[in-house]
């Protein structure tokens, strides 16, 4: 079975400060890992993915995430938050050989001006 945990329902950060949104996962094999963002009343938009190779992956809008196999984590980071980054963020995992994604429960990011 595959599962994802996002331990924080909400993260608050001031504009210009760095942000981290946490994600840990559990899979039986090697994972494919993803971050998606959802703005109000919209579908999910793909941010970045880890498939293989470099543990630090860079995505859209200045976001990056670090794959840590020993800690089974894939935390999302941005060095300088913008008010426009305020949204709901989902981590997702897929075991290699499986088709379906398993999503975390989501973390709401609030960036204050």
Partner 1 sequence: NAGVTQTPKFQVLKTGQSMTLQCAQDMNHNSMYWYRQDPGMGLRLIYYSASEGTTDKGEVPNGYNVSRLNKREFSLRLESAAPSQTSVYFCASSEALGTGSYEQYFGPGTRLTVT
Which positions touch partner 1 (CB under 8 A)? 4, 9, 32, 34, 36, 41-46, 49, 51, 90, 94, 97, 99-106
Find the shortest distance in angstroms from Cβ 101 to partner 1.
Answer: 6
Closer to partner 1 at the Cβ: 4 or 87?
4
The total of other beta-carbon atoms located within 10 Å of residue 26's CB is: 14
**Alpha helices by DSSP H, the chain:** none
Closer to partner 1 at the Cβ: 42 or 58?
42
Find the shortest distance in angstroms from Cβ 15 to partner 1.
Answer: 27
Strands (DSSP E) contained in the chain are 3-5, 10-14, 19-21, 24-26, 31-38, 44-50, 56-58, 64-68, 73-78, 87-95, 102-103, 107-112
Closer to partner 1 at the Cβ: 22 or 49?
49
């Amino acid at each position: 079975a595959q599962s994802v945990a996002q331990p924080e329902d909400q993260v608050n950060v001031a504009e210009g400060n760095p942000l981290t949104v946490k994600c840990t996962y559990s899979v039986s094999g090697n994972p494919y890992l993803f971050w998606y963002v959802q703005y109000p009343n919209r579908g999910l938009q793909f941010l970045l993915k880890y498939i293989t190779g470099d543990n630090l992956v860079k995505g859209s809008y200045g976001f990056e995430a670090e794959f840590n196999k020993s800690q089974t984590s894939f935390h999302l980071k941005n060095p300088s938050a913008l008010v426009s980054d305020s949204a709901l963020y989902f981590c997702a995992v897929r075991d290699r050989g499986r088709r379906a994604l398993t999503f975390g429960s989501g973390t709401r990011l609030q960036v204050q001006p």
